[in-house]
């Protein structure tokens, strides 16, 4: 099977030469640093919790304990201080020494500046109300034990539907962005490489030795491996965090696993077509504009994957080979992709890759030895 060996040799050269280039290592280093920062920063930020200062007037021990206990509800530290009267509390809030003032008694008052700290205001309001209620119940002759029993009766728990939807959306967005940027980069790289080979005329030397299919597929494979290495640099910190038992946005794992399958197929498809388009140009500078139709398709599917993967448009685009690589992983991350739709989409992608290899290498072979002007795709396909 000299075809396989040739493909391997062509891919090996791409990989070796890429690893020799400084740009590869710069991009890899940036990805490792960026991704590590993305994994560590939320943890670091979590350490610095919010803290609230509450100034209390005429507080009872019970009031103070229920205010301190509110720190769990608010997910913040609550620091208490006391003031001799309501006027002093007002001054403290006005000066910003305290966030909220709590004046206990028969007519409890919450002092707050402007519209600030609504959650804290609600908590303090509730604590003051409870305190007033307890005082009145005891005054009416109810035993403190009974009061305690009644007031510690369990309150309703909140049942949230669609929990973690925003997290999943975030996971989908991360995956789609990473795939989008990577595909865009690799596509330009393949088209550029092909255009360089054509304008350098090395393609004729190679075509005399190697079948065009092996040449095109080897390049796609080599550049794709460079892409996977790059991707691995970005994913490594995620895996490390996962192994260390850290939190990930829920849905990220699924999106990553699904993303891998579509990335490989979609990547192959985009890169093969990019190679064929790159063979049409006369000068290397035209490579970017030659792959414009692919770039536009990629940008379009990125936008849908980012904004509305769960829409009807997203459902349709998840089947179409050129748009599915970005849209389908996003739908998987959102949890709206059925196993059947995933299977159908995968099969369509495989078929598209097979067709692309055939058409791509025909275009590549015909176009790469025809120099002197930029070629039209339709003319090359007709063989004219």
Partner 1 sequence: MAHAAVEPGEEQPVPDSLRAVGISQRFGGRIVLDGADIEVPAGRVIGLLGPNGAGKSTLMRILFGVLQPDAGTVEWQGRPATDDDRRSWGYMPQERGLYRDMRVLDLLTWIARLHGLDRATGRARALRLLEQLGLADREKDKIMDLSGGMAQRVQLAAAMVHEPALLVLDEPFSGLDPVAVEFLSAVIVDHVRAGRNLLFSSHQLDLVEDLCETITLIDRGRVVLHGDLRALKAASPDRYLWVDVTVDASWVDPAVAAVTSTNASGSRLRLGPGADPGAVLDLIRARVPVTGFGVEAPSLSELFLAAAGRPAVAA
Minimum distance, C-beta of residue 45 to partner 1, in the bound complex (Å): 44
Which of 4, 13, 181, 351 touches partner 1 by CB under 8 A? Answer: 13
- The piece of 98-106, 110-118, 204-212, 353-361 that touches partner 1 (CB under 8 A) is 204-212
The residue range among 11-19, 77-85, 137-145, 325-333 that interacts with partner 1, by the rule CB under 8 A, is 11-19
Using CB under 8 A as the binding rule, whether residue 201 contacts partner 1 is answered as yes
**Residue 81 or 200 with smaller CB distance to partner 1:** 200
What string marks each residue from 158 to 187 as x (binds partner 1 by CB under 8 A) or -? ------------------------------
Question: Counting Cβ atoms within 10 Å, is residue 218 exposed (0-12), middle (13-18) or buried (19+)?
Answer: buried
Q: Which is nearer to partner 1, 9 or 76 (CB)?
A: 9
- Cα dihedral across residues 314, 318, 323, 328: positive or negative: positive
* Residue (of 29, 75, 49, 32) closest to 241 by Cα position: 32
- Which of 44, 153, 208, 244 is close enough to bind partner 1 by CB under 8 A? 208
Does residue 139 interact with partner 1 by CB under 8 A?
no
Within a 10 A sphere around the Cβ of 122, how many other Cβ atoms? 14
The interface mask with partner 1, positions 209-248, x = CB under 8 A, is xxx-------------------------------------
CA 356/CA 6 separation, integer angstroms: 19
**Is the separation of the CB atoms in 94 and 113 below 8 Å?**
yes
- Alpha-carbon torsion 57, 58, 63, 65, what sign? positive
Among 4, 40, 87, 202, binds partner 1 (CB under 8 A): 202
Give yes or no for a contact between 106 and 100, defined as CB atoms under 8 angstroms apart.
no
Task: Please report whether residue 53 would count as binding partner 1 according to CB under 8 A.
Answer: no
Residue of 1, 153, 161, 384 that binds partner 1 (CB under 8 A): 384
Give CA 171 to chain center in angstroms: 4
Stretch that binds partner 1, among 6-14, 90-98, 251-259, 340-348 (CB under 8 A): 6-14
Establish if 377 lies at the interface with partner 1 (CB under 8 A). Answer: no
Question: Minimum distance from CB of 203 to partner 1 (Å)?
Answer: 7
| Residue carrying structure tokens 């050269």 | 13
CB 234 within 8 A of CB 213: no
The CA distance from 200 to 215, in Å, is: 15
Find the shortest distance in angstroms from Cβ 29 to partner 1.
Answer: 21
Whether 175 contacts 262, CB under 8 Å: no
Residue pair 134/147 in contact (Cβ under 8 Å)? The answer is yes
Does residue 207 touch partner 1 according to CB under 8 A? yes
The count of chain residues that interact with partner 1, using the rule CB under 8 A, is: 22
Q: Does 200 bind partner 1 (CB under 8 A)?
A: yes
Give least dist CB 281 to partner 1, A.
15
In angstroms, rounded to a whole number, what is the distance separating the alpha carbons of residues 21 and 226? 11
How far is it, in rounded angstroms, from Cα 231 to Cα 251?
Answer: 19
The two structure tokens encoding residue 378? 């339709």
Q: Which is nearer to partner 1, 143 or 371 (CB)?
A: 371
3-state SS of 18-39? Answer: HHHCHHHHHHHHHHHHHHHHHH
By CB under 8 A, is residue 2 in contact with partner 1?
yes
Count Cα atoms within 13 angstroms, Cβ side, for 254: 21
Part in contact with partner 1 (CB under 8 A); list of ranges 5-13, 73-81, 181-189, 334-342: 5-13
Binding site for partner 1 (CB under 8 A): 2, 6, 9, 13, 16-17, 197, 200-211, 369, 371, 384
């Amino acid at each position: 099977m000299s075809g396989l060996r040739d493909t391997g040799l062509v891919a090996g050269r791409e990989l070796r030469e890429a690893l020799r280039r400084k740009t590869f290592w710069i991009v890899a280093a940036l990805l490792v640093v960026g991704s590590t920062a993305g994994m560590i920063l939320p943890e670091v930020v979590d350490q610095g919790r919010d803290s609230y200062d509450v100034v209390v007037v005429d507080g009872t021990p019970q009031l103070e304990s229920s205010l301190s206990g509110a720190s769990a509800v608010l997910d913040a530290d609550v620091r208490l201080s006391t003031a001799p009267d309501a006027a002093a509390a007002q001054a403290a809030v006005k000066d910003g020494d305290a966030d909220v003032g709590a004046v206990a008694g028969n007519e409890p008052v919450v002092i707050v500046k402007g519209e600030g700290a609504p959650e804290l205001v609600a908590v303090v309001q509730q604590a003051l109300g409870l305190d007033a209620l307890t005082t009145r119940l005891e005054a009416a002759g109810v035993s403190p034990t009974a009061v305690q029993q009644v007031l510690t009766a369990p309150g309703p728990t909140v049942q949230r539907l669609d929990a973690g939807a925003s997290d999943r959306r975030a996971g989908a967005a991360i995956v789609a962005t990473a795939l989008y940027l990577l595909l865009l980069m690799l596509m330009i790289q393949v088209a550029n490489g092909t255009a360089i080979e054509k304008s350098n005329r090395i393609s004729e030397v190679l075509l005399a030795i190697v079948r065009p299919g092996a040449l095109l597929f080897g390049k796609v494979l080599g550049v794709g491996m460079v892409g996977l290495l790059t991707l691995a640099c970005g994913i490594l910190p995620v895996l490390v965090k996962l192994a260390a038992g850290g939190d990930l946005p829920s849905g990220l794992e699924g999106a990553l696993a699904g993303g891998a399958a579509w990335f490989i197929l979609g990547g192959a498809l985009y890169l093969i077509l990019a190679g064929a388009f790159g063979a049409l140009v006369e000068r290397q500078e035209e490579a970017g504009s030659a792959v414009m139709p692919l770039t536009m398709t990629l940008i379009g599917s990125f936008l849908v994957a980012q904004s509305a993967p769960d829409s009807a448009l997203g459902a349709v685009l998840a089947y179409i080979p050129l748009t599915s690589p970005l849209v389908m992983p996003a739908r998987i991350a959102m949890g709206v992709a059925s196993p059947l739709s995933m299977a159908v989409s995968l099969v369509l992608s495989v078929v598209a890759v097979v067709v692309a290899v055939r058409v791509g290498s025909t275009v590549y072979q015909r176009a790469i030895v025809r120099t002197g002007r930029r070629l039209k795709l339709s003319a090359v396909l007709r063989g004219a």
